[in-house]
Amino acid sequence: MFKPDSIHKYADIFPRWKKLFHLGLYGLTEDFDLASITDFLLKNEKLTVCLSYFNPLTDGYKEILEKFIVKIIETRPKRIPYIYFPGLQNSIFYDDYQGLRLSH
């Protein structure tokens, strides 16, 4: 998995990779520091980003993810990141998020 500062370093160099158009991180666990990439995801104008969690998550981590999804809905970044975690479809924000994501 990533070291705590890895995603910060990657976020700094992503804009330099001219041909990179998709970034998918699959099988993420709660060890992934979502806070370290949220600014990048909200400012990102080029990459299609997918963050996918497959393992069961604690309610606390799901709440962190849902708060970020609300921020996405409110700010409507140019590129809407695809975020999936078990139970997302039960979230009260699911329909709004999916509608926004699919409209881009």
Nearest to 82 by CA among 44, 55, 31: 44
Q: What is the mean pLDDT of residues 80-101?
A: 94
The pTM of this model reads 0.83
Q: What is the mean pLDDT of residues 1-18?
A: 63
Confidence (pLDDT) at 17: 66
Q: Are strands 22-28 and 82-84 parallel, antiparallel or unpaired?
A: unpaired
Q: What is the mean pLDDT of residues 18-44?
A: 87
Band (pLDDT 50/70/90 cuts) for residue 89 is: very high
Q: What is the mean pLDDT of residues 18-38?
A: 86
pLDDT by residue (tens digit) across 51-65? 999 888 999 999 999
